[in-house]
Amino acid sequence: MRRRPGIAGLQTAAAARDQYRLVGENVAKIRTDLMKEQLATFKSQLEEFAQKHKNDIRKNPIFRSQFHEMCAKVGVDPLASKVGFWAELLGIGDFYYELGVQIVEICLASRSHNGGLINLQELCSLLSLRRKAVREAISEDDCLRAISKLKVLGSGFEVISIGKKKLVRSVPTELNRDHNEILELAQGQGYVTAEEVEKRLSWSSGRAMDALETLLKEGLAMIDDGHSDGKRRYWFPCVASVFVTAGVD
Amino acid sequence: MQKLGDFRVPNFFNYPPYFTLQPIRETREKQVQLWKELILDYCRSQKVFIIGLEEEFPLFSNPAIQRSLSHESREVFLSALVSEGRAEWIDKNHRKCLVLWLRIQDWADHLINFVRENGLEDSVMTVEDIRSGIESRGTELAGIDRGVLIRALKLLEQKGKAAIFKGSSTDDEGVKFNV
């Protein structure tokens, strides 16, 4: 716009600005309304969907995890608040809180055996065993979700990935890279020897012994001197699936 | 699931490190606890009273995983039972151990129940009758160790609930119950 001199020019400019503002506000309002409308539709659709598939969501772990995935994509967390309409609608909040409590119980009960590190698979099967009466299938996805909710408590529950396996940690032990590598190595047979660690990971014997001793002290490993070759084996109850339920009943 | 006779062994029996004494205190405590329970359960189900540390004993080795307990660990596990009053060393050298899966007091209670159920109040039985007579068949008392039985009877005698009579040979010690 060419700027014209004088009072008239200034007035015209101000009037034009007002006009622009009005139009702009209008457009924004229309947009917000549209958005609100869309959101309402979406919410009611989602509600309707959840209502319709309520039973599937509660009973079928695969469906449940897909539902969660869908919710995550649109930025809705059905677990975010207990008093939300989700909780009322599905009782889904309670479900995970209950799982969380049971997970804590299992971790505590098995701690003296595995040093506070438990295989996710094992945790899951122990959980299913304990919930036999409820007759609802539990998937690993459910476990992970329940554990993520436990973080709020600040009790140090954490899921760590070692090799192909996921382990759930319920003690504040810090595992460094060396420890993780040993645990990964142990996944094949359930145990390692110092010699294997040195060879496979190309470590000095001091480094291997140091890491093994720490794992032993933390209660994550058990020694076994009974093999006929006379080599000490370090077993890791948290990775060996041979051993399931002792101490958890 | 592996079995010893008709006894179901717990899972840890198949996990090799449980056959080596663990150096870390907490792990060791857990290990000792599991073994104590296993020994008591096994002895109770198989009616074993005396374990010889230097003899073959089904719990002391697991051929399936080629592991067996060292003499030291046998002694540690049994000593743990001894300290709880659930076992007694028979000799000073700790070579033989008497396992009390029922305490003497519990045995005495068993005896009283046995007497009541069979209407033996005020009647006389021999010690051998109690161990292997028809009445005790199928009860915990069948096959009870003679020494344990005598001690339980003496306990009852102290309480005035039984009187033991010496016979001419050891076989026919008699008991009169007065429940």
Sketch the domain layout of chain B as residue ranges: 3-99, 104-177
Residues A32 and A107 in one domain: no
User: Which tokens belong to A225?
Assistant: 């001197």
Place of tokens 């309707």: A48
Tens digit of each residue's pLDDT (9 = 90 or more) over A40-55: 888 778 778 877 887 7
What is the predicted pLDDT for the residue at A77? 66
C-beta atoms of B20 and A245 within 8 A:
no
C-beta atoms of A246 and B12 within 8 A:
yes
* Phi/psi at A227 (5° precision): -75, 150
Q: Is residue A22 part of a domain?
A: yes
| pLDDT of A114 higher than 90 | no
Residues A126 and A221 in one domain: yes
* A213 CA: distance to closest CA in chain B (Å): 10
Into how many domains does chain A fold?
Answer: 2
Do B3-99 and B104-177 share a fold? yes
Closest CB to A224: pick one of B11, B17, B29.
B17
For residue A223, give the CATH number of its domain. 1.10.10.10
Q: Is residue A115 part of a domain?
A: yes
What is the predicted pLDDT for the residue at A88? 59
Q: Is residue A243 part of a domain?
A: no
| Domain boundary pick from A91, A121, A146 | A91
B11: closest chain A residue by CA: A243
Which CATH architecture group holds B104-177? Answer: Orthogonal Bundle (1.10)
For the domain made up of B3-99, give the CATH fold: Arc Repressor Mutant, subunit A (1.10.10)
Query: What region, left, alpha or beta, does residue A136 occupy, with left being phi > 0 and alpha being psi -120 to 50 degrees?
Result: beta
B96 in Cβ contact with B88 (< 8 Å): no
Mean pLDDT of A58-87: 71
Residues near B147 by beta carbon (within 8 Å), at least 6 away in sequence: B98
Residues A85 and A102 in one domain: no
Q: Is residue A161 part of a domain?
A: yes
User: Which tokens belong to B80?
Assistant: 């743990």
| β-strand pairing of A165-169 with A117-119 | antiparallel
C-beta atoms of A246 and B16 within 8 A:
no
Residues A70 and A172 in one domain: no
Residues A38 and A110 in one domain: no
Higher pLDDT, A241 or B148: B148
* B69 CA: distance to closest CA in chain A (Å): 8
Residues A207 and A144 in one domain: yes
| Domain boundary pick from A91, A106, A136 | A91
Q: Is residue A246 part of a domain?
A: no
C-beta atoms of A112 and B68 within 8 A:
no
Give ipTM to 2 decimals.
0.79
Residues A224 and A142 in one domain: yes
Query: What region, left, alpha or beta, does residue A115 occupy, with left being phi > 0 and alpha being psi -120 to 50 degrees?
Result: left
| Domain boundary pick from A41, A58, A91 | A91
C-beta atoms of A225 and B22 within 8 A:
no
A192 in Cβ contact with A181 (< 8 Å): no
Mean pLDDT of B48-52: 92
Closest CB to B26: pick one of A219, A225, A227.
A219
- A93-107, A111-125, B41-55, B113-127, range with greatest mean pLDDT: B41-55
The boundaries of the domain holding residue A117 are: 95-235
Residues A193 and A102 in one domain: yes
| pLDDT of A11 higher than 50 | yes
